[in-house]
Structure 1
Amino acid sequence: MTLGTKLNKLRTGRNLTQVQIAEKLHISQNAYNKWESDKAKPAMENLMKIADFYETDVYDLLDEKSIVQNNTDRSFGYIDSTVTINNTISEELIESIIKNQQDITKLVEVQSKLIESLLKK
């Protein structure tokens, strides 16, 4: 069963419209419609909001899908066999996490230099 199918069943099981769900999640109805029709995948932040709203676990929504970070746009997507439901982590995911941590470190260093230069003025 796809994420979209699960979202549809959860929503209709509560007799809610897509508009009502979108308002509660603070997103557009169009975005929610794309998720429910499997035309797009929600970002991890939104996926967690959905799980919280429906009082379920993210992994229950994803079933045997996995979470990876797309290195080009930094949004989250889902692919098979990267992180499975039993938390087996692939080397690709580990490398992605390490790279993200390195990027964060560089950003903090740049931010610190910027703050120092502003304080000197």
Structure 2
Amino acid sequence: MWGNAASACANLYNWLAPCPNTDVQRTSDRSALLENKSSPVMPHRNPLYKLMSSEKLSQPDLPAEVTIRGTCCLIFRMPPKFHACESCPLLKTQQRVELIRQTMAKAD
């Protein structure tokens, strides 16, 4: 459950990245939610801490960085598609690149 919450937060901040004048606040909020051991809103350890990471891509036609889940969400086992998501930690970099390109091609 916390993995899905962390993924949703990371996706929101990635979606906001192109918005003007949001860099400082977006980076600060993302760090507070996903990268701090303690939480300002929860009494104990931050349950979202270290559930997401990032991977740099060196492909000119793709985002410079992608977000990777800490654990697999198992969506690849769900019919009808049976494929991993772009943030799946089970994918190797090249598999991730191909999946991102396929997703981008479908969007065009």
Instruction: Give yes or no for TM over 0.5.
Output: no
State the TM-score bracket (shorter-chain normalisation). Answer: under 0.3
Q: Which has the higher contact order (CA 8 A, sep 6+)?
A: 2
Report which of the two structures shows the higher radius of gyration computed on alpha carbons.
1
The structure that is helix-richer by fraction is: 1
